[in-house]
Amino acid sequence: MQKIGILGGGQLGRMLLQAAANYPVETFAMENDSECPAAHLCHHFTKGDIRDFNAVYAFGKNLDAITVEIENVNVEALEKLEAEGVRTFPKPGVLKIIKNKILQKQYYQQHEIPTAEFVVTQNLQELDSRKNFLPAVHKLGEGGYDGRGVQILETIEDVERGFDKPSVLEKLIKIHKEIAQIVAINEKGDTALYPPVETLFDPALNLLDYQLCPADLKDGTLWKMEAIALTVVRHFNSPGIFAIEMFTDKTGEVYVNETAPRVHNSGHHTIEAHYSSQFDMLWRIMLGLPLGNTGMILPSIMVNILGADGYDGQVKYEGLEEVMQMENAFVHLYGKKYTRPGRKMGHVTVINKEKQDLLFKSKRIKRTLIAKC
Amino acid sequence: MQKIGILGGGQLGRMLLQAAANYPVETFAMENDSECPAAHLCHHFTKGDIRDFNAVYAFGKNLDAITVEIENVNVEALEKLEAEGVRTFPKPGVLKIIKNKILQKQYYQQHEIPTAEFVVTQNLQELDSRKNFLPAVHKLGEGGYDGRGVQILETIEDVERGFDKPSVLEKLIKIHKEIAQIVAINEKGDTALYPPVETLFDPALNLLDYQLCPADLKDGTLWKMEAIALTVVRHFNSPGIFAIEMFTDKTGEVYVNETAPRVHNSGHHTIEAHYSSQFDMLWRIMLGLPLGNTGMILPSIMVNILGADGYDGQVKYEGLEEVMQMENAFVHLYGKKYTRPGRKMGHVTVINKEKQDLLFKSKRIKRTLIAKC
């Protein structure tokens, strides 16, 4: 049996390990918290810091292959492991580009991939000299995660909220649709595309929490997005799963926002709604097995269950019983003991051929299933 | 989080634990082999003998609930645990009846559940005096598992192959169809029925290895079987998952063959082909959550992957790549290191609305995916 390790032990690692149990593979995971969502689902768990060179190298050196469920890992250790013959998904060079928003934007530019116009600012002084570029989004080059490290600068007064470190300043796009496209690519370079998903905006809740699959796109836009996503992936020359986040504007122009070189939140629905889920697919790629069928069994919608505002402590779920009574709703709670505002505690996928049913149920789920304490 | 334990660590435990990862539950498992298929997928694994009173009692005494993936467990320990407030799925009294084929047949008789006519034989001498009952099946009362403890006695010459211990001698039925019906029942007594599956016989291979869902039954037969299966379950007065194996003859008569009070091989297809799988359903029942939707997403066929004849040793799969290239085929290999003839090494489920595709692919899978060494 191959020995394969995962850096990171959150919900993505958990769902990867759930899928691993269909195959003969010896699994390893590393995370700093031995009660993390994935800790108990692998053959061998290591408590350790995934950002530490020695920890990552020691974890990986006897493995056949290694993957990540988060970008924020020690890339130098992965490079050494790769040089010593451990297959890495994605390759460390990809993580280097993705982790730095400046390099990531330059990658798009270099490969003529459409992305919002941008300039690099080294400090606040340089930002100040780029006021003509507003309205814009200021993104910290390194170290920004989960919404931190991003500021929308609408007017000149906002500039003081910018970053005094190397950052990207990119023109604000009037977003018509936010689309995520997941691409699988194996070591031979064969690719498989999942149907794109569309992030839906709930005006009442002011949240971007529903992901509808398939996205409602004109054929021309769909084909353009697929071609762009494939271009993003191919130039990386790396096997793995990639989630490419794109925007369209009202004119139908497409812009790549960012890429995650790993299994991704926007692919949760593939567990139930597609023949081969993104998690199943990554195991196929890592084990050298044929790519799976990305086809859709039924249309779906996915709702993230986030920690409710004002609650910080041991989690209790309100409304779980009501949601679990809904037909065709698949509940995934990640087994996190503690909730805090906005923390990803779980998700629910609904599958049905009727889009109206998906929209209706997902809104009801959002209102009903609450992570409190 | 509730603490829930599983006695047994085979493939059924493995698939139960895969499903558990959708819910907040702290999982425990016990088995004598710390490399068994389920060992690495629970929070807490105990190496121990599930047939031993002290081991089972020690394992269970701090749990909220306990279930089994095999009948052959220490029932006395479960009775003590139940008396002390550990919820058991099924109740120990059910296991007592099921484990003894004489008591099981008497249970059907007592509740007027149709089953093949039978007599009890205490020893070979008594069997000899029942020659007029042939052709018949002789089933050892206790201790028979996985086909052992069953002899078909066609003629008087066969009688010497019978058992010299308390056994059931039942009239041989001319089986037209072999059907399994899975029933879920919660602590309130609410029930949910999965569509029945039909075991298909492959004349070329002389194997009973395909399970087609839904079974091809006339409405009248279907309703009769559902009513009978519900009667079997209701009189047990126990929550859990029950698999009721029934035969029909050419006249449409239905006979209950036997019942398993647990998740069962005949429900493997529910993982992909039904909204709530048998494994998901058992967690719902144990966690006091609403019953799931037993409805079918698509028709399915399930093929067991058994250890090939003539191979005994460290397993290598032949044909895995070819099978994993098939669209809509879901491979489950149980991670067992060693194969031996007839050992359950995995299964493959195919889902499709076209029955012909199911039959074609399942036969191809059977011929292609071989557990050798």
Encode B318-366 in three state secondary structure. ECHHHHHCCCCEEEEECCCCEECCCCEEEEEEEECCCHHHHHHHHHHHH
Q: Is residue A207 part of a domain?
A: yes
Of residues A24, A315, A332, nearest to B333 (C-beta): A24
Q: Does B317 touch chain A (CB under 8 A)?
A: yes
Chain B residues touching A327 at Cβ < 8 A:
275, 293, 295
Q: Is residue A101 part of a domain?
A: no
Per-residue pLDDT tens digits for B280-335: 999 999 999 999 999 999 999 999 999 999 999 999 999 999 999 999 999 999 99
Per the prediction, chain A carries an average pLDDT of: 95
| Percent with pLDDT over 90 in chain A | 91
- Single out the residue in B171, B189, B211 at which a domain terminates: B171
DSSP lists the bridge partners of residue A151 as: A138
Of residues B23, B42, B321, nearest to A333 (C-beta): B23
Burial class (CB in 10 A: 0-12, 13-18, 19+), A353: exposed
pLDDT band at A144 (very low <50, low <70, confident <90, very high): confident
| CATH number of the domain residue B312 falls in | 3.30.470.20
A161 and A183: one domain?
no
CA nearest neighbour of A226 among A260, A259, A182:
A182
How far is the C-alpha of A148 from the C-alpha of A351, rounded, in Å? 32
pLDDT band at B34 (very low <50, low <70, confident <90, very high): very high
A85 has pLDDT over 60: yes
Instruction: Compute φ and ψ for B234, nearest 5 degrees.
Output: -60, -35
Q: Does A314 touch chain B (CB under 8 A)?
A: no
Instruction: Compute φ and ψ for A179, nearest 5 degrees.
Output: -125, 140
Q: In the sheet where B65-68 sits, what is the strand order?
A: B44-47, B25-31, B2-7, B65-68, B87-89
Range list of H helices, chain A: 11-20, 53-60, 75-83, 92-99, 101-110, 124-128, 219-234, 270-273, 278-286, 320-324, 355-368
B230 and B152: one domain?
no
Number of separate domains in chain B: 3
Residue B69 C-alpha, separation from nearest chain A C-alpha, in angstroms: 17
Q: Does A287 touch chain B (CB under 8 A)?
A: no
- Quote the pLDDT of residue B267: 97
B144 and B28: one domain?
no
A201 and A79: one domain?
no
B184 and B143: one domain?
no
Residue A22 C-alpha, separation from nearest chain B C-alpha, in angstroms: 4
- Quote the pLDDT of residue A235: 97
Would the CA dihedral through B31, B33, B34, B37 be positive or negative? negative
B196 and B324: one domain?
yes
Residues comprising chain B, all counted: 373
How far is the C-alpha of B269 from the C-alpha of B348, rounded, in Å? 8
Q: Does B298 touch chain A (CB under 8 A)?
A: yes
A219 and A141: one domain?
no
CB atoms within 10 A of CB B308: 19
Buried b (16+ CB within 10 A) or exposed e, B194-205: bbbbbbbeeeee
Per-residue pLDDT tens digits for A202-241: 666 555 679 999 999 998 999 999 999 999 999 999 999 9
B1 and A335 within 8 Å at the Cβ level: the answer is yes
Residue A62 corresponds to which amino acid?
A: N
Q: Is residue A304 part of a domain?
A: yes
Residue A262 · residue A12 · CB < 8 Å: yes
Per-residue pLDDT tens digits for B123-170: 999 999 998 999 999 999 998 766 688 999 999 999 989 999 999 999
DSSP, collapsed to helix, strand or coil, labels residue B150 as strand
- Quote the pLDDT of residue A208: 61
- Quote the pLDDT of residue B148: 80
Q: Is residue A107 part of a domain?
A: no
Per-residue pLDDT tens digits for A287-342: 999 999 999 999 999 999 999 999 999 999 999 999 999 999 999 999 999 999 99
Note down the domain range covering B324.
177-372
- Single out the residue in A89, A105, A137 at which a domain terminates: A89
A18 and A43: one domain?
yes
| CATH number of the domain residue B63 falls in | 3.40.50.20
B194 and B226: one domain?
yes
A76 has pLDDT over 60: yes
Residue B210 · residue B320 · CB < 8 Å: no
Per-residue pLDDT tens digits for B181-234: 999 999 999 999 999 999 987 666 555 679 999 999 998 999 999 999 999 999
Q: Is residue B47 part of a domain?
A: yes
| Percent with pLDDT over 90 in chain B | 91
- Single out the residue in B137, B155, B171 at which a domain terminates: B171
DSSP lists the bridge partners of residue B207 as: B202
Angle at B353 between CA B350 and CA B356, to 5 degrees: 75
A140 has pLDDT over 70: yes
* Mean predicted confidence (pLDDT) in B335-362: 95
Per-residue pLDDT tens digits for A259-281: 999 999 999 999 999 999 999 99
Q: Is residue B274 part of a domain?
A: yes
Instruction: Compute φ and ψ for A366, nearest 5 degrees.
Output: -60, -40
A81 and A209: one domain?
no
Q: Does A152 touch chain B (CB under 8 A)?
A: no
User: Minimal Cα distance from A19: which residue of B?
Assistant: B18
Q: Is residue A46 part of a domain?
A: yes
Q: Does A290 touch chain B (CB under 8 A)?
A: yes
How far is the C-alpha of B226 from the C-alpha of B183, rounded, in Å? 9
Q: Is residue B111 part of a domain?
A: no
DSSP, collapsed to helix, strand or coil, labels residue A272 as helix
CB atoms within 10 A of CB A223: 11
The ipTM estimated for the assembled molecules is: 0.93
Distance of CA A47 to the CA centre of its chain: 23
A126 and A185: one domain?
no
Distance of CA B119 to the CA centre of its chain: 25
Residue A71 · residue A98 · CB < 8 Å: yes
Per-residue pLDDT tens digits for B246-260: 999 988 899 999 999
Per-residue pLDDT tens digits for A191-203: 999 999 999 876 6
B248 and B208: one domain?
yes
| CATH number of the domain residue A160 falls in | 3.30.1490.20
